[in-house]
């Protein structure tokens, strides 16, 4: 039986291209990069496992700020084991697990349980996110300090799925986490403007399709309010899944004013548009909803210029019987972990909008920084933990849901052909996935 991937290992990666350099060898000893350069291979002990990086680019392992792993409570849709396997296949070495499980991750014990499930699975580092409020009810603060002081070292808190709507509760949460440089990740959706039945971007199309509208102002108004609270408290706020041009403008304005605010965008909001809803296929039902092409363009621009700091998947697996309903009754959400790199590479890098170094910043360095995961998102140099991914920027993939490691199949990209393939994922010097096959 193979050792769990959480144990450090030796490894030699030969001939991979490093950003800003020609090809080099990378030697890993006991999970840490020991040498980088043309002569690293000569230092390798006999019998060191090898990975051929010829023709590939070596990047820091990806970090996902926003993953729904569904355990505990909905192990029919996903488990920590299957979700983190999908993450490894997608090039991720760390994921942050959202708190809206059943029961909710709102105590130190619940957070430690998710952490332990991640270690036992061994596919990638699984960092629990703590709820902001008890039971995600929006009223009483959860055990933020106890979760932070637990073994799980929780630093990111979110009621995702729901917005922390009460400004006083949001203010107190921000004040509370400032002591340990925590961050509140906000699902920006004013429920009085976009309620639980809102499922289609509000506009001409929502009227024509007879679907309840979800207006952009329900997002931008919460972002603006939270920016004011971040300025007032001096604390960090993170905007989950920004989806509109108005939301982007609010983030831009807040950053100009000096608010400690960061934002993420999902791969699906960078590509898919609201007109896909005309067929009422629930695979395109997601929250926030798909937006018109002008919003998609604004999101791409903001990701390129750094207004949006990070890509995050909002991987949201759903069992077939929760997704296969009439559109208004189907569950919100899409898979994302296994397709994230290809989608972002295809739409942002292959199109020439950003280079691979900027992709690494948005998918690895920035999310690790935002989450305070100091072992991840490091430069590829001696002394850094060996959390790495080898990618082929020229190879094309066609998305086949049947090959997914997730327990669910609700990908909106089935049949899409994209340029950019994850080849090998490495956690502490161990290969966790190679060519879509997950090890151990
Ligand atoms: Zn959300
Ligand atoms: Zn989410």
CATH number at residue 289: 3.20.20.140
Residue 10 appears among annotated catalytic residues: no
Q: Which ligand is nearest to the CA of 287?
A: 1
Report the separation in Å between the CA atom of 12 and the middle of ligand 2, taken as the mean of its atom positions.
37
Rounded CA separation 201/160 (Å): 19
Please give the angle made by the CA atoms of 12, 4 and 362, to the nearest 5 degrees.
65
Distance in Å, CA 316 to ligand 2 centroid = 7
- The alpha carbon of 288 and the centre of ligand 2 are apart by a number of angstroms equal to 9
What phi and psi, each to the nearest 5 degrees, are found at residue 222? -70, -40
Domain with 98, as residue range(s), is 61-374
CA–centroid distance, residue 162 to ligand 1 (Å): 7
What value does the mean pLDDT take over residues 385-406? 98
* For the CA of 129, the nearest ligand: 2
Does 122 fall in a domain? yes
- Any domain includes 22: no
Cα–Cα distance between 348 and 370 in angstroms, integer? 22
Q: Work out how many domains the chain is built from and give that number.
A: 1
The pLDDT of residue 2 is 42
Establish whether 73 is an annotated binding residue.
no
pLDDT band of 192, cuts 50, 70, 90: very high
The arithmetic mean of pLDDT across residues 9-30, rounded, is 92
Residue 26 belongs to a domain: no
> What average pLDDT does range 343-353 have in this prediction?
98
| Residue 318 annotated as lining a ligand binding site | yes
Does residue 324 fall inside a structural domain? yes
Q: Based on C-alpha coordinates, what's the Rg of the chain?
A: 21
- What's the rounded mean pLDDT across residues 48-65? 97
Report the run of H or E that residue 262 belongs to, with start and end. strand 261-265
Query: pLDDT confidence of 5, banded at 50, 70, 90?
Result: low
Q: Which of 25, 159, 226, 314 is catalytic?
A: 314
- The per-residue pLDDT for 111 is 98
Smallest CA-to-CA distance from 134 within 171, 169, 185, 96 is with: 169
pLDDT digits (tens, 9 = 90+) for 101-138: 999 999 999 999 999 999 999 999 999 999 999 999 99
DSSP string, 109-176: HHHHHHHHHHHHH-SSEEEEPBPSBGGG-SSSB--HHHHHHSTT---EE--TTS----HHHHHHHHHH
The verdict on residue 299 lying in a domain is: yes
- Which letter does DSSP use for residue 403 in this model? G
Q: Is 241 annotated as a binding residue?
A: yes
Write out pLDDT tens, residues 284-308. 999 999 999 999 999 999 999 999 9
- Residue 43 alpha carbon to ligand 1 centre in Å: 47
- Ligand found nearest the CA of 65: 2
Neighbouring residues of the ion ligand 2, judged by CB less than 5 Å: 160, 314
Tell me if 172 is assigned to some domain.
Answer: yes
Q: How far is the CA of 187 from the centre of ligand 2 (A)?
A: 8
Ligand with minimal distance to 101 CA: 2
Give the other-Cβ count within 10 Å of 351's Cβ.
11
Percent of the chain with pLDDT over 70: 99
Q: Is residue 410 part of a domain?
A: no
Please indicate if the annotation marks 123 as binding a ligand: no
**C-alpha neighbours within 13 Å on the C-beta side of residue 426:** 37
Q: Is 332 annotated as a binding residue?
A: yes
190 labeled binding residue: no
The long-range contacts involving 279-285, CB below 8 angstroms and separated by at least 24 positions, are 280/209, 280/326, 280/327, 281/327, 282/323, 282/324, 282/325, 282/326, 282/327, 282/330, 282/331, 283/323, 283/334, 283/410, 283/411, 283/412, 283/414, 284/412, 285/199, 285/327, 285/330, 285/331, 285/332, 285/333
| Å from CA of 404 to ligand 2 middle | 20
Give the whole-angstrom CA distance, residue 119 versus residue 419: 32
Q: Is the pLDDT of residue 3 over 70?
A: no
For 143, other C-beta atoms within 10 Å of its C-beta total 19
Cis amide prior to 194 (ω within 30 degrees): no
| 440 marked as binding residue | no
pTM metric for this prediction: 0.98
Mean of the pLDDT values across residues 224-250?
98
Say if 434 falls within a structural domain: no
User: What pLDDT is stored for residue 1 in this prediction?
Assistant: 36
């Amino acid at each position: 039986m193979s050792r769990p991937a959480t144990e450090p290992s030796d490894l030699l990666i030969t001939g991979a291209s490093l950003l800003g350099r020609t090809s080099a060898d990378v030697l890993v000893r006991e999970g840490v990069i020991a040498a980088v350069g043309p002569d690293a291979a000569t230092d390798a002990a006999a019998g060191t496992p090898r990975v051929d990086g010829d023709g590939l680019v070596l990047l820091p392992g990806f970090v996902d700020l926003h993953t729904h792993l569904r355990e505990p409570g909905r192990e029919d849709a996903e488990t920590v084991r299957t979700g983190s396997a999908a993450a490894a296949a997608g090039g991720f070495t760390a994921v942050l697990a959202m708190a809206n499980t059943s029961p909710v991750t709102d105590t130190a014990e619940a957070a430690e349980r998710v952490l332990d499930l991640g270690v036992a699975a061994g596919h990638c580092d699984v960092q629990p996110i703590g709820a902001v409020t008890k039971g995600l009810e929006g009223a009483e603060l959860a055990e933020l300090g106890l979760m932070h002081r637990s073994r799980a070292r929780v630093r990111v808190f979110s009621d995702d799925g729901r917005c922390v709507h009460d400004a006083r509760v949001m203010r107190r949460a921000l004040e509370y986490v400032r002591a340990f440089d925590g961050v509140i990740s906000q699902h920006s959706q004013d429920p009085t403007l976009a309620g639980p039945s809102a499922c289609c971007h509000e506009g001409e199309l929502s009227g024509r399709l007879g679907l309840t509208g979800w207006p952009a102002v329900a997002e931008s108004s919460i972002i603006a309010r939270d920016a004011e609270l971040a300025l007032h408290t001096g604390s960090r706020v993170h905007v989950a899944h920004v989806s509109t041009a108005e939301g982007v403008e609010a983030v831009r304005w807040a950053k100009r004013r000096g608010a400690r605010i960061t934002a993420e965008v999902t791969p699906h909001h960078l590509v898919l548009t609201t007109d896909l809803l005309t067929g009422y296929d629930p695979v395109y039902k997601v929250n926030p909803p798909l937006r018109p092409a002008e919003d998609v363009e604004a999101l791409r621009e903001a990701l390129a210029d750094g207004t949006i700091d990070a890509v995050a998947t909002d991987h949201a697996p759903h069992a077939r019987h929760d997704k296969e309903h009439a559109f208004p009754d189907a569950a919100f959400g899409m898979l994302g972990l296994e397709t994230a790199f290809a989608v972002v590479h295809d739409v942002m890098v292959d199109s020439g909008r950003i280079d691979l170094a900027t992709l690494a910043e948005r998918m690895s360095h920035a999310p690790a920084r935002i989450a305070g995961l100091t072992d991840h998102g490091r430069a590829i140099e001696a002394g850094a933990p060996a959390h790495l991914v080898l990618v082929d920027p020229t190879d094309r993939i066609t998305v086949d849901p049947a090959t997914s490691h997730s327990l669910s199949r609700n990908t909106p990209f089935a049949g899409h052909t994209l340029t950019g393939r994850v080849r090998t994922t490495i956690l502490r010097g161990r290969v966790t996935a190679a060519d879509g096959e997950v090890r151990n």
